[in-house]
Amino acid sequence: MQVLVIGNGNHSKKRVLPALEKIKFVENIVIADKNIKNKKKINSSLEIRNFDKELQNNDKYDLIIIATPPYNHKSSLLDAVNKSNNILVEKPISNDMNFVFGDMLKDLKKEKNIFESLMYLHHPVLQHVKELIKKHNIKKISSEFTVPHLPDNKYIYKKDLGGGSLFDQGIYPLSLALELSNNSKKIDHIEINNSDKYEVDLGGNIQMNINKNIRYFGKWGLGQDYKNSLELKDNDGKEFQIDFIFSKPDNLNSKIQITSNETISEIEVGKFDQFQIMYEDILRSDFTKFEYSNYKNLIERYDLIHELLKMVH
């Protein structure tokens, strides 16, 4: 299989390319970068092409991965849309809400498999979480994704470049709320933390009811202590704690800690590269099997984001 990766920044080098190289049935990986001077790569066998010249040739790919900063997602997608039927865009699919809700993306989705990357939804630990919710009388779910300031990601502090914590961290707890709900949800409280120092939001939280009887709390933030967790509580006081629910190092042995009547036990899940799992799932499976990738779910996700964005502006 042939894969084109658009973008050769740190995310591509640290996450995307190493994961693709682990997949045996990926025969060829090409990198396209507008900044052709960005020659550094993880493997000398990988070819880096100029993005504009790449668009002019007749090469076709089984999958295109757009791994550029968010403000380039829309333009990269539109430029490269004819080179593959399957295009995976790093979250967010676009920070242009007119594009997200407009006819252009809707029409493209009818012809192509275009969706955004939410790699944690492919990790085996999430299936364990869903099983726990089915088997136990879960009454409360809390998720949190906060990170320290990121000096190397300057775009994240620029409003016109699609920065802010909502698109970078917030999309995870928000998408998880929708993933765990069964179309029964009611938002009670949403909050965005604006910044006097920066021109973007630095965090927020949401409180909502899902599945009629489960209380969901989601929190995200930029410029805070690192937290990346999910906690479930049932009606009997039993707690299930999962660390690194959204983003996980490859060498981390994922586990679920269970606390009940001061007794602690664990469910071992194992070590996984969630990017590798996601790419393998996508390349091996029918794209329509992933509900989060269809147009209805995409719009539902961005309806929630748009509601929060209205508070920012």
For residue 251, what are the contacts with CB-CB under 8 A and spacing of at least 6?
A: 271
Closest CA to 3 of 73, 79, 80: 80
- Averages of pLDDT over each 10 residues, the chain, 313 residues: 92 92 93 71 71 89 93 94 94 92 95 92 94 94 96 82 90 95 83 87 93 93 96 94 92 92 91 93 83 89 85 61
Cβ count near 267 (within 10 Å):
15
Q: Can you say how many angstroms the Cα of residue 113 is from the centroid of all Cα atoms in its chain? A: 17
Top CATH class of 2-118 equals alpha beta
- Name the CA dihedral angle for 87, 91, 93, 98, rounded to a multiple of 10 degrees: 180
In the chain, residues under CATH classification 3.40.50.720 are 2-118
Interior angle at CA 204, CA 132 and CA 259, nearest 5: 30
φ, ψ for residue 200, nearest 5 deg: -130, 170
- pLDDT, residue 276, reads 95
Q: How far apart are CA 123 and CA 275, in angstroms?
A: 9
Return the SS3 of 213: coil
Which CATH number among 3.30.360.10, 3.40.50.620, 3.40.190.10, 3.30.565.10 corresponds to the domain 124-271?
3.30.360.10
CA-CA distance, 41 to 108, in Å (whole number)? 32
- The region, left, alpha or beta by phi > 0 then psi within -120 to 50, assigned to residue 270 is left
Which ranges in the chain are annotated with CATH 3.30.360.10?
A: 124-271
pLDDT at 194: 85
pTM above 0.85, yes or no: yes
Q: How much is the pLDDT for 40?
A: 53
Show the CA angle centred on residue 21, arms to residues 16 and 11, nearest 5°. 15
Distance CA 187, CA 207 (A): 6
How do strand 214-222 and strand 227-234 relate by DSSP bridges? unpaired
pLDDT of residue 88: 95
Tell me if 221 sits within 8 A of 193, measured CB to CB: yes
